[in-house]
Each structure stands twice: as structure tokens, then as C-alpha cells.
């Protein structure tokens, strides 16, 4: 008896659902094709968030629907959570948590909207907007957009209380990242657009096996601290064929990263590709096996740089930057072991050691200085190579600074322009 009743209930529900989706079909002609497809081969692996109550009008809170769709799909091998195209889904901060069955896909074809103003964020969840936690064998794909609606956060930085960058304790100092992966492995992100983040756009934290391809990231050049992609304590990474334009680092590689391969990116505008800053507050930082190849950087603060704080520990080893084309970039090649975010920082003897860094085929124009390599007094940089570095001033008529090298050992070879970029000292001189 009980069984029959729930069966009837199910049928009624199914009927209601089909009426509901037909209604949508009439209302939104644009998506009729999509919905028809779903009706024809409706199967148990597709979880459209509308089925779970999402409205998609850009005003209703659709967070719960996404979480419910996720929970259902998570239990099914090879399932897809679908964010349908043509609609705007407003979400408050959400955590989509694994472990899930393998080959789960989050298909983002529509637009996801973050809370529209600083005031509409809840204070307890300012770390990120969408948090993927403990997932593996997982993909995010689709032609949709994640819109962080960050403009009200950017203008905050102009207010007096937030000018002190040393303190991050005030709730307003903590700004959300749009999309963060935490403790995840074998994850793929492709095709989606991520725009207007309050802070970083895409972050991988404590993860392993990351593939990013064909994505687009976009925020204004003057939006503060809006990194494109941030890697932290993450190994075995490939980032390729993507367009990243933002107000801070295009890709930022932080401590604990190894085996990172970045190629075919456009980083305009941005602060370029950056290792660090590393070793802040005398911390231990290790980064190794980084390859950055075939990158264009236009209208940027730097092209490729490594920055470390004095007093840090650990090392940067085996990094290669090749085929980097810069245009209108302040300083294309930077190593700064005196990184400091105030007027001056105390000199310290400990430093993050930098060795085996190759620059090969760095070409284009600079607006301030072609190269600046400032290594630690107590722990000089070793085994640096500059091969075929050809840089010329962007403004022919203005005066420019010379290339600068300090405590940096290695070799320059091939065609070098201006000749000053060969300012490295020979490795063999290091111990004499």
C-alpha cells in the first residue's frame, strides 16, 4: 500500500516536471532545442539544475538547487551537472564537495552570477565564491561564464582603511576568489569564461594533476589584485591555449608547486607570469620544474618574474621561460630577491635560493628597463642562462634604464640586445 502511494506520487511529480519544462520551452524559444534533446534521450546521468528548482532569472538565489543537483550527480558514475545556456543563475558562496563517483562533469553553459555587491556577501564566506573540495577525475567545461561581479570590491581599495596591505584581518581585506579547487586531483577546466573577480579568478590549492585549456579570464587592467590563475602547493599542472587579461599576475606560482607546464597563453593586460612572492615572514618556499613557453604579454608590469622576500628559506630550481613575446612591458625579465610591499624592509641574510633558470627567446619592447636581476647578497642566483634575448624600447624617444644585474651568476649567449642584458657574472667566478 505504502509502495503504491509513493509510486503514484512519483508519477505525479514526473508529470508536473514535464509540464514545467514544456512551459519553459514556450517561454524561452532560444533553448527549446536544448530541452527537446533532454526530453528525447532523458537519461539518469544528466542533472539540470532547473530540475532541482533553479530559476535562472538572475535574482532568485539558485545556490540550493546547484548543491542538490551536485549531491545527486555525485553518486552516479560519469554524471553531468548542467547549468543551461541563456540563463543567469545567482549564487551565494557554495562548496561542491567530493569525493564523488569518477568522471563527474560540471557543464557550465549559462551564466553564474556572484552576489552583486560587497554588502550582499555573507561575512563568514569571503574566502571564495565557488569551492570545489576533495574532487577527483572531475571536469568543468562549457561555454558559459562565471561572473564575480567584483567592481564594488575593487573600488574599496581606494578607501583609507584598506591602504595598509600588511593587515589582512579586517573582513573587508579578505576578498573572495571566484573558483577555487582544494585538495583535489585529476581535474580539468576547459572553455569557460571567468570574469570580474573581486580577487583571484581561478585558484588551485593543495591539488595534483591539473589541466586548464581554452579558458578566458577577463578583468580590467586597473582592478586591484585580480590574479588570473593562482597555483599553490599544487603539482603536475598544464595550463594552455588560454586568454588571460586582468589587473595582477596572469599566472602566479606559489610555494609547494612543481612540474608546472604553461604554454600558449596571452596575458594582456596583466602583471605577467610570476613565481612568488616566496618566503614571506621567513617561511619555507619550494618551487621546481616550471616551464613557461610561447606566451604573449602586452601592456604589462613585467613579462616573467621571480620575487622572493628576504629572510625566506627553500629554493626555486629548474625554471625555463622560452618564446616569450612582450610588447609595452615595463620590465620584461625580473628576479627580485628584495621583494617588499612597503617603503623598505629589513635586510636579512637568509633567502630563497634561486638556481637553474633559463630565459630563451625573449623578444619585444619594454617601457622602463629590459631586465632587472637583483639576487641576494648572501645567497646569489646561480646557473642562470640568457639565450637570444632581444628587447628594444617601446618609446624610441624617451630615455630608458640600463639592464641591471646584482649577485647573479650564469651565462648569456646567442643574440643579445641591448648588449647590457649580458650582465650576468660567469658561474666560475662565484667561488673565487
Ligand X SMILES: *[C@@H]1O[C@H](CO)[C@@H](O)[C@H](O)[C@H]1NC(C)=O
Q: What amino acid positions are annotated as catalytic residues?
A: 271
CA 222 to chain centre: 17
Closer to ligand X by CB, 213 or 318: give it: 318
The Cα 105–Cα 140 span in angstroms is 6
In whole angstroms, give the CA distance from residue 131 to residue 127.
9
User: How many residues sit in the footprint of ligand X (CB under 6 A)?
Assistant: 18
Instruction: Give the Cα separation of 371 and 397 in Å (integer).
Output: 19
Nearest approach, Cβ of 406 to ligand X (angstroms)? Answer: 8
Nearest residue (CB) to ligand X, 110 versus 272: 110
Among 95, 318, 323, 390, indicate the residue that binds ligand X (CB under 6 A): 318
What residues from 366 to 405 belong to the interface with ligand X (CB under 6 A)?
A: 377
> Could you say which of 125, 186, 213, 291 contacts ligand X (CB under 6 A)?
291
Question: CB 48 → ligand X: shortest distance, Å?
Answer: 9
- Nearest approach, Cβ of 282 to ligand X (angstroms)? 17
Choose one: 151-159, 247-255, 283-291, 387-395; the region binding ligand X (CB under 6 A).
283-291
Among 206, 214, 156, smallest CA distance to 183 is for 206
Is 346 or 431 the residue whose CB approaches ligand X more closely? 346
How many residues appear in the chain? 432
CB 278 within 8 A of CB 288: no
Residues 223-282 interacting with ligand X (rule: CB under 6 A): 258-259
Q: Which residue from 6, 41, 124, 168 is in contact with ligand X, where contact means CB under 6 A?
A: 41
Question: Using the rule CB under 6 A, is 213 a contact of ligand X?
Answer: no
Q: Interaction with ligand X in 90-149: which residues (CB under 6 A)?
A: 109, 143
344 binds ligand X per the rule CB under 6 A? yes
- The least CB distance from residue 346 to ligand X, in Å, is 6
Region of 92-100, 131-139, 286-294, 367-375 interacting with ligand X (CB under 6 A) = 286-294
Among 37, 61, 75, 414, binds ligand X (CB under 6 A): 37
Comparison of 143 and 401: residue with beta carbon closer to ligand X: 143
Q: Is the separation of the CB atoms in 312 and 339 below 8 Å?
A: no
- Which CB sits closer to ligand X, 167 or 344? 344
Q: Which of residues 32, 136, 162, 289 is near ligand X by CB under 6 A?
A: 289
Contacts (CB under 6 A) with ligand X, residues 164-203: none
* Contacting range for ligand X; rule: CB under 6 A; set: 3-11, 20-28, 239-247, 284-292: 284-292
Side-chain half-sphere exposure of 345, counting CA atoms within 13 A: 17
- CB nearer to ligand X: give 162 or 291: 291
| Nearest distance in Å: CB 171, ligand X | 33
Query: At its nearest, how many Å lie between ligand X and the CB of residue 125?
Result: 31
Q: Minimum CB separation from ligand X for residue 218, in Å?
A: 16
Q: Which of 29, 43, 124, 428: binder of ligand X (CB under 6 A)?
A: 43
* 46, 230, 305, 307: which one binds ligand X (CB under 6 A): 46
Rg value, the chain, Cα: 25
Tell the smallest beta-carbon distance from residue 325 to ligand X (Å): 20
Q: Which stretch binds ligand X (CB under 6 A): 50-58, 113-121, 130-138, 289-297?
A: 289-297
Q: Which residues have CB under 8 Å from 386's CB, separation 6+?
A: 333, 359, 362, 371, 410, 411, 412, 413, 416, 421, 422, 424
Return residues touching ligand X (CB under 6 A). Answer: 37-38, 41, 43, 45-46, 109, 143, 258-259, 288-291, 318, 344, 347, 377
Amino acid at each position: 500500500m505504502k509502495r503504491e502511494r509513493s509510486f503514484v506520487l512519483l508519477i505525479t511529480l514526473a508529470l508536473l516536471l514535464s509540464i514545467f519544462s514544456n512551459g519553459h520551452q514556450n517561454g524561452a524559444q532560444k533553448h527549446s532545442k536544448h530541452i527537446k534533446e533532454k526530453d528525447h534521450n532523458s537519461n539518469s546521468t544528466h542533472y539540470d539544475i532547473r530540475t532541482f528548482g533553479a530559476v535562472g532569472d538572475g535574482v532568485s538565489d539558485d545556490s540550493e538547487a546547484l548543491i542538490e543537483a551536485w549531491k545527486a550527480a555525485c553518486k552516479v558514475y560519469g554524471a553531468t551537472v548542467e547549468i543551461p545556456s541563456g540563463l543567469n543563475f545567482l549564487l551565494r558562496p557554495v562548496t561542491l564537495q567530493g569525493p564523488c563517483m569518477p568522471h563527474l562533469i560540471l557543464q557550465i553553459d549559462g551564466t553564474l552570477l556572484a552576489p552583486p555587491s560587497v554588502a550582499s556577501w555573507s561575512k563568514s564566506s569571503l574566502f571564495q565564491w565557488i569551492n570545489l573540495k576533495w574532487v577527483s577525475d572531475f571536469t568543468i567545461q562549457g561555454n558559459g561564464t562565471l561572473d564575480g561581479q567584483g567592481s564594488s570590491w575593487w573600488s574599496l581599495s581606494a578607501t583609507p582603511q584598506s591602504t595598509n596591505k600588511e593587515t589582512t584581518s579586517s573582513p573587508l581585506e579578505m576578498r573572495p576568489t571566484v573558483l577555487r579547487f582544494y585538495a583535489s586531483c585529476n581535474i580539468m577546466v576547459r572553455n569557460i569564461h571567468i570574469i570580474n573577480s573581486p580577487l583571484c579568478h581561478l585558484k588551485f590549492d593543495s591539488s595534483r594533476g591539473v589541466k586548464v585549456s581554452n579558458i578566458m579570464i577577463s578583468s580590467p587592467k586597473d582592478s586591484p589584485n585580480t590574479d588570473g590563475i593562482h597555483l599553490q602547493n599544487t603539482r603536475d599542472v598544464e595550463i594552455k591555449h588560454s586568454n588571460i587579461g586582468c589587473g595582477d599576475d596572469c599566472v602566479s606560482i606559489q610555494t609547494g608547486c612543481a612540474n608546472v607546464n604553461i604554454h600558449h597563453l596571452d596575458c594582456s593586460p596583466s602583471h605577467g607570469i610570476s613565481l612568488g612572492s616566496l618566503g614571506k615572514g621567513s617561511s619555507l618556499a619550494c618551487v621546481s620544474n616550471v616551464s613557461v613557453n610561447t606566451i604573449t604579454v602586452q601592456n604589462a608590469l613585467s613579462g616573467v618574474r621571480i620575487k622572493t622576500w628576504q629572510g625566506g628559506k627553500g629554493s626555486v630550481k629548474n625554471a625555463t621561460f622560452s618564446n616569450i613575446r612582450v610588447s609595452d612591458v615595463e620590465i620584461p625579465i625580473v628576479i627580485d630577491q628584495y621583494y617588499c610591499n612597503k617603503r623598505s624592509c629589513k635586510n636579512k641574510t637568509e633567502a630563497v635560493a634561486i638556481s637553474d633558470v633559463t630565459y630563451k627567446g625573449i623578444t619585444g619592447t619594454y617601457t622602463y628597463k629590459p631586465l632587472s636581476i637583483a639576487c641576494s647578497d648572501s645567497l646569489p642566483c646561480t646557473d642562470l642562462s640568457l639565450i637570444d634575448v632581444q628587447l628594444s624600447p617601446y618609446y624610441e624617444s624617451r630615455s630608458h634604464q640600463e639592464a641591471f644585474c646584482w649577485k647573479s651568476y650564469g651565462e648569456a649567449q646567442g643574440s643579445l640586445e641591448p648588449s647590457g642584458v649580458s650582465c650576468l657574472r660567469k658561474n666560475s667566478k662565484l667561488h673565487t
